[in-house]
Structure 1
Amino acid sequence: MKFAWIDLRTVPAEHREAVIDAAIHARVDGIVDSDPETLATLPATVKRILVGAEPPKDQGLDDLIVLREVADDNRLHELRALHQSGDKNTAALVNVVDDPSLTLACETAIALPYTVVQFKDPTKIPLEIVIAAADRAPGQLICQADDLEEAKVIIDVLEKGSEGVLVAPRSANDVFELVELLRVKTPDLNLTTLTIESIEHLGLGDRVCIDTCTHFEKDEGMLIGSYAHGFILCVSETHPLPYMPTRPFRINAGALHSYVFGQDNRTNYLSELKAGSAVLAVGADGRTRRIVVGRIKLESRPLLSIKATSPEGVEVNLIVQDDWHVRVLGPGASVLNVTELKKGDHVLGHVATDKRHVGWPVGEFCVEK
């Protein structure tokens, strides 16, 4: 789980109290300041990180993390010795400005419990190198970001990013936005086995292919459906096909009116998606991950209507291109060609109890059929 450290040192005086309240309320991992008196007022639910000074005596700050700058090997040796003597909160700040300081950052991240790195140049290659060097080290790596946009990039570097990000917010809203950014793990979904009731050829209509910026796994797809209460797991074009190359980034999803199940229990129409939209990849075991749309392709094709029901009797419908190479996933991640489905076959899907308004779940009366 990613975590945030909030840097108070450059927060305007008129915003400091609100930023502190927001950080505590949002349960950020730590608050950084150069004023020990401010840190002494913070609750035990947040780490207190002192920078630019040595810890004061007899102020109830025994658990204080002291962030000390490391500029050379001698300083690293001193902090390593301090940590080995029993200081579990030894922390270092390394400014990466060239290759020697990059090497120093890697060594520090391996040796100490906490290492904050900041980089002179905008490239993220040095951060990738530090992340890789410290990957198996027990300590935690925190990268300093100039703003929320940079924090978003840092979180995703090498798919895993640093464990933590240090940001100086401009306001309390920045704190809440940062915490939302750090919710990188999407929750698993409960998939159910649906039983096919009927297949019907509909004739010409518009269907959407979703081309993403991600390589799908063989058991991954997207949940697509005509109704907001039920979806079928459409598989990606990761599996080989005759007559055409694989498209491991693509899902031949369905007719343009269809819903795609996304993050935060929200749906979008396929017709709404565009380059840059966020969607949800779903595995046959229910795991999910956020991915980004590269483009959509809307083309007129013959369509096929698939009707299925859940064990509880919930009716689900999916309208897709009427072609053998369009496929859905069945139990055990079996790959099923839609034109070969027949009454009694089983497919994987998801049943939601919520009704929808502009994609958001609402508690209202609504009938879809």
Structure 2
Amino acid sequence: MKFAWIDLRTVPSERLESVLDAALHSRVHGVLCDDEKLLKDLPPTVMGVNPTVVTDEAQLGDLGPEAVGWVDVHDDRTLRLACAAAVVLPHTVVRFADPTKIPLEIVLAAADRADGRLVTACADLEEAGIVLDVLERGSDGVLLAPASADEVFALTRLLRADSPPLELTTLTVDRVEHHGLGDRVCVDTCSHFAEDEGILVGSYSTGFILCCSETHPLPYMPTRPFRVNAGALHSYVLGPGNRTNYLSELRSGSTTLAVDAEGRTRRVLVGRAKLESRPLLTVTAHAADGTEVSLTVQDDWHVRVLGPGGKVLNVTELRQGDELLGHLATDQRHVGLPIGEFCKES
């Protein structure tokens, strides 16, 4: 579980109280401060941090079992020191002089099987977001000296930006209808999809079908493991935080949600959204509770959806009674956000 520490040492005195209140309200994991009285007054749920600056490996053996080490990395010797500290200490704070994240990658690799937690000092929220994803694993924790209470809240939101699993349901195909020309969107991401992964797309905000990525071989064309031929531009696509977008809204830099056949999810960055006019068809299916789900996609054999167990199904070969994987959402939507209001879609 990722966590955040707040460094109060450079916070202006006039903002100290509001920043500390925000940290406690946000339930940050730890507070770093030189004021021993302030540290003693912290609630038991918040760790008071007063690190020991480590300048030599010989120090490591003298530090107690609850010690927090601090290493400034600015050359090869201090990089090796940070690696050694991260292996043996319960908590190691590392501050890097250079903007490159390669030294952090080296420390993460060195401490990969260690029990200790690595905390990376960050200059701002943007760096904190990068640090949390380095080598996919990322730093266990981040340390930030916030300029205001707002930055404390923003940091804790960043930590909560994980991607919980979704409950998938089995849908039964009712009919497939062929239409004329319309506009469809291919979503090209900056990630490599797994074979049982795709994105959830639907014409109605309450139901989605798991559209397959182009990771599987196709005749006449190479695989494109970064792509999902997702559907008509009016369609909803389910993204992080239970928020939807229209496919027409996705563009380079957008974030959407990759979902596998077990319901595991992860955020993926959109590299581009490709809109082209193509013949379309609509798949209509229903869930066990009778909820109707609709998906309009390109009318072509190479467009695929996923069924139970990750079975790959070509949309032009779907027949009444075939089973698909989907997701039901109980809320209606207003500008992509769930809202408890009456709305009928058809």
Listed as ranges, the matches of 1:322-333 within 5 Å are 322-333=299-310
Paired residue secondary structure (1:157): coil
Matches within 5 A, 1:64-213: 67-79=51-63, 87-213=64-190
SS at match of 1:94: strand
Structure 1 residue matching 2:120: 3-state secondary structure: strand
The residue type equivalent to 1:74 in the other structure is A
Q: Deviations over 1:216-274 (max 9, x none)?
A: 11111100000001000001001111111110000000000000011111110000001
Matches within 5 A, 1:269-280: 269-280=246-257
Match of 1:20 in 2: 20
What is residue 64 of structure 1 aligned with on the other side? none
Q: Which amino acid aligns with 1:240?
A: P
Task: Point out where structure 1 has 5 or more consecutive residues left out of the alignment.
Answer: 51-66, 80-86
Q: Secondary structure at the match of 2:214?
A: coil
The 3-state SS of whatever aligns with 1:252 is strand
Paired-residue identity, %: 64
Deviation string for 1:27-63 (max 9, x for gaps)?
Answer: 110000011011122111100012xxxxxxxxxxxxx
Within-5 A mapping of 1:310-325:
310-325=287-302
Answer whether contact 2:253 2:270 (CA < 8 A) is retained.
Answer: yes
Write the distance in 2 (CA, Å) between the matches of 1:130 and 1:349.
41
One-letter identity of the residue aligned with 1:9: R
Q: Deviations over 1:95-115 (max 9, x none)?
A: 100111101110110011110
One-letter identity of the residue aligned with 2:245: N
Amino acid at match of 2:18: A
Q: Which amino acid aligns with 2:259?
A: V
Deviations 1:255-296 (A, max 9, x none): 000000111111100000010101001111011111110001
Moved more, 118-127 or 32-41: 32-41
* Amino acid aligned to 1:47: M
Secondary structure in 1 aligned to 2:133? helix
Structure 1 SS opposite 2:132: helix
Distance 1:148 1:360 in 2: 25
Q: How does 1:239-258 map to 2 (within 5 A)?
A: 239-258=216-235
Match for residue 361 of structure 1? Answer: 338
Indicate conservation of the 8 Å contact 2:57/2:85, yes or no.
no
Q: CA deviation at 1:184?
A: 3.9
Secondary structure of the corresponding residue to residue 135 of structure 2: helix
SS of the aligned residue for 2:134 comes to helix
SS at match of 2:18: helix
In the TM superposition, 1:207-222 aligns within 5 A as: 207-222=184-199
CA distance in structure 2 between the partners assigned to 1:119 and 1:152 by the alignment: 16
Q: Is the 8 A contact 2:57 2:84 kept in 1?
A: no
Give the gaps of 5 or more residues in structure 2.
none
Q: 1:58 is matched with which residue?
A: none
The offset of 1:76, in angstroms, is 2.6
Counterpart AA for 2:48: R
Q: Match of 1:159, SS?
A: coil
Q: Distance in 1 between matches of 2:97 and 2:59?
A: 20
Q: Which residue of 2 aligns with 1:55?
A: none
Once residues 14 and 137 of structure 2 are traced to their aligned partners in structure 1, the CA distance between those partners, rounded to angstroms, is 35
| 2:202 alignment partner in structure 1 | 225
Q: Distance in 2 between matches of 1:13 and 1:309?
A: 60
Q: The residue matched to 2:85 in structure 1 has which SS? A: helix
**Matching residue of 2:258:** 281
SS in 2 for 1:158: coil
Partner in structure 2 of residue 53 of structure 1: none
Match of 1:56 in 2: none
1:2 is matched by which residue type in structure 2?
A: K
The equivalent of 2:44 in structure 1 is 44
CA–CA distance in 2 between the matches of 1:88 and 1:341? 62
Q: Which AA in structure 1 matches 2:327?
A: H
Work out the CA distance in 1 between the residues paired with 2:304 and 2:13. Answer: 59
Q: Which region of structure 1 is more displaced relative to structure 2, 70-79 or 217-226?
A: 70-79
The answer to whether the aligner puts 1:33 opposite 2:22 as a matched pair is no
Q: Structure 1 counterpart of 2:55, which letter?
A: A
Query: Counterparts of 1:184 and 1:230 in 2: how far apart (Å)?
Result: 23
TM-score normalised to the size of structure 1?
0.93
Q: Which residue of 1 aligns with 2:240?
A: 263
Give the whole-Å Cα distance in 1 for the aligned partners of 2:85 and 2:68: 9
Residue range with higher mean Cα deviation, 17-26 or 204-213 = 17-26
What's 1:291 paired with?
268
